[in-house]
Amino acid sequence: MSTNSNTPLNFLEEIIEADLASGKHKTILTRFPPEPNGYLHIGHATSICLNFGLGLKYGGATNLRFDDTNPVTEDTEYVESIIEDVRWLGFEPANILYASDYFEQLYEWAKVLIQKGKAYVDFSTAEEIAAMKGTPTMPGQNSPYRDTTPEENMALFEKMRAGEFPDGHCTLRAKIDMASSNMIMRDPLLYRIKHAHHHRTGDKWCIYPMYDWAHGQSDSIEKITHSICTLEFAPHRELYDWCIEQLGIFPSKQYEFARRNVSYAITSKRKLKLLVEEGHVRSWDDPRMPTISGFRRRGYTPASIREFCDRIGLGKREMVADMSLLEFCIREDLNKIALRRFAVLDPLKVVITNYPEGQTEALETENNPEDPNAGNRPLTFGRELWIEQDDFMENPPPKYFRLSPGGMVRLKSAYIIQCHDVVKDANGHITEIHCTYVPESRSGQDTSGLKPKGVIHWLAASNAQKAEVRLYDRLFQVEDPASEEDFLATLNPHNLQVIENALIEPALADAKLGERFQFTRLGYFCVDPDAQPGKPVFNRTVTLKDAWAKEQQK
Ligand code: ATP
Ligand code: MG
């Protein structure tokens, strides 16, 4: 949320400040109006931060309103997830409202239009209506039903509501101007017949308002002062203003901003739904999904997503924000708050041959060097340890600073060790390595004078615990999957790696849902809801460095 008084105002803030200064509005009311036909994605997050952010900044308020006018695609599961996501992002709606609660009022207003001769029931088929619509350079044709009398239209519309016609038999259309240069003003549809069960109104209605008829009037009913939407609705503004004028109701005013998309992600509920339905991901909140619930499960913090939305800002031109920026925001946040822990994802056994058998030793290390109040935690050192397979190389290239035969490395917060033997199985695979430790090199009390360049993390075999660790990569291989003919073909086949037998330090074994950690040298991790007592499961939120960006530069 940009509260910094030095940052220049964006165009909406300028409008709002002018409206407040001129007394046009005493206070402002914005709204976030999702259609409950899927889970919210990162594009919606930008709209939520914008609407709620403006409400907060100017001491106004923001409604959450479900634009639930399409019974076929909507579901209470989506309603519930949307409320949860908005709250999780840190915003509390002033009211949680539903366009379906306005169905009766919208119906009454449709009758007002009919009485004024501004709406008519049309029995033309969808094809005929399309054919009569004209083109942007050619005016359309009037429907043969356009001049039906208001009395007759009223009777027909009541029959529509009473269920006397089958689906698609007729529609209610506004009577505006079939020659308008704005195609949306060419007698737009207001109502269609759909004998379908609605998740809130049940079977009460068999006619449903079109989005265009419901949306503007819903804003007006709620007395939304600044109705903010994405650019594709700019041509609809003329229609919303026309309806408000015809009905003489509260004049909400619409302002448009450009959609925010994010690279390597899809920001369309319809396409995200396909990923879930076809099993390319496990669920809407799969940590690979660019949904708000996916980012939550992945370990993103609400603050990091708000910061991202703030940094990409607001504009009138479509833009694709870089996924790396979102990753930067979460790293910044987690660096400050995540407790440091040791985990070994691909274990290699190390035996310290000069350390007494059966003996262990208590060491200490910091919980978070960025936070002096985070304190220390105990580590156990012993004769048998685990390190990462790739922290050892039998034939290292020059400038390899980790462990190799004859080489030395520091075990973080413990001792310097030197490798003297490599043990292999019958197939030549390394099964363990033998090292000696330097007793006078203990971290914090090092008198050895040795300065190995590499520092690696490790675990004591005596108390390391097992855990499942899930590593994620970009969901898609291309920057703009939505522009591909078949976006599913661009899925990254390596977007998930499950490590069933990773090892973790004992302090992690009973980590709770919602806790976030930095696994030293490996990245930031959080507990997945699949975790159970005695069976910890961790998700990697993000790596420590932008490995992807580096890869791209090669
Ligand atoms: P989708 O294709 O995902 O269904 P939508 O715009 O149809 O997108 P709605 O539920 O109608 O989804 O959106 C609710 C609000 O979120 C609208 O005001 C819409 O303008 C805004 N919104 C949706 N996608 C984006 C985006 N990528 N960037 C900014 N705002 C968005
Ligand atoms: Mg929509």
pLDDT in tens, 5-29: 567 899 999 999 999 999 999 999 9
Across 522-535, average pLDDT = 96
Residue whose CA lies nearest to ligand 1 atom number 10: 34
Q: Is the pLDDT of residue 554 over 60?
A: no
Per the residue annotation, which of 31, 65, 173, 269 is the catalytic one? 269
Question: Where in the chain are the domains?
Answer: 11-257, 269-339+467-553, 346-457
Ligand nearest, relative to CA of residue 33 = 1
CA atoms within 13 A on the CB side of 265: 24
- The CB of 290 under 6 Å from ligand 1? The reply is no
> Residues of the chain with pLDDT > 70: what percent?
97
Per the residue annotation, which of 57, 146, 259, 521 is the catalytic one? 259
Q: What is the per-residue pLDDT across 439-497, written as a single tens digit (0 to 9) for each?
A: 999 999 999 999 999 999 999 999 999 999 999 999 999 999 999 999 999 999 999 99
For the whole model, what pTM was predicted?
Answer: 0.93
Based on its alpha-carbon atoms, the radius of gyration of the chain, rounded to whole angstroms, reads 31
**pLDDT given for residue 337 in this prediction:** 94
Q: How, if at all, do strands 360-366 and 207-209 pair?
A: unpaired
Return all residues near 84 (Cβ < 8 A) that are at least 6 apart: 293
Q: What is the per-residue pLDDT across 502-521, written as a single tens digit (0 to 9) for each?
A: 999 998 998 999 999 999 99
Residue 88's Cβ-count burial label (10 Å; 0-12, 13-18, 19+) is middle
554 is catalytic: no
Identical fold between 269-339+467-553 and 346-457: yes
Q: What is the per-residue pLDDT across 312-362, written as a single tens digit (0 to 9) for each?
A: 998 898 889 999 999 999 999 999 999 999 999 999 999 999 999 999 999
End-to-end CA distance of the chain: 36
**pLDDT given for residue 318 in this prediction:** 86
- The closest of 163, 165, 216 to 188, measured between CA atoms, is 216
259 is catalytic: yes
- Measure 123 CA to ligand 1 centroid, in angstroms: 32
234 secondary structure, DSSP code: G
**pLDDT given for residue 551 in this prediction:** 45
- The closest of 78, 82, 477 to 265, measured between CA atoms, is 477
11-257 carries CATH number 3.40.50.300: no
- Measure 476 CA to ligand 2 centroid, in angstroms: 23
279's torsion region: left (phi>0), alpha (psi -120 to 50) or beta? Answer: left
Q: What is the per-residue pLDDT across 18-65, written as a single tens digit (0 to 9) for each?
A: 999 999 999 999 999 999 999 999 999 999 999 999 999 999 999 999
**pLDDT given for residue 4 in this prediction:** 53
Place of tokens 């809130």: 200
> Residues of the chain with pLDDT > 90: what percent?
94
Q: Is the pLDDT of residue 236 over 70?
A: yes
Testing ligand 1's pocket by substitution, the residue of 68, 230, 257, 260 carrying the most ligand atoms inside 8 A of its CB is 230
Angle at 133 between CA 131 and CA 138, to 5 degrees: 105
532 secondary structure, DSSP code: B
Alpha helix segments (H runs only) across 429-522: 506-509
Q: What is the per-residue pLDDT across 91-101, written as a single tens digit (0 to 9) for each?
A: 999 999 999 99
Q: What is the per-residue pLDDT across 247-270, written as a single tens digit (0 to 9) for each?
A: 999 999 999 999 999 999 999 999
**pLDDT given for residue 547 in this prediction:** 53
Q: Give me the architecture of the 346-457 domain, per CATH.
A: Beta Barrel (2.40)
Residue whose CA lies nearest to ligand 1 atom number 18: 229
Q: Where are the beta strands (DSSP E) in 145-245?
A: 171-174, 189-193, 207-209, 226-230
269-339+467-553 carries CATH number 2.40.240.10: yes
Across 109-120, average pLDDT = 98
Ligand nearest, relative to CA of residue 37 = 1
**pLDDT given for residue 8 in this prediction:** 87
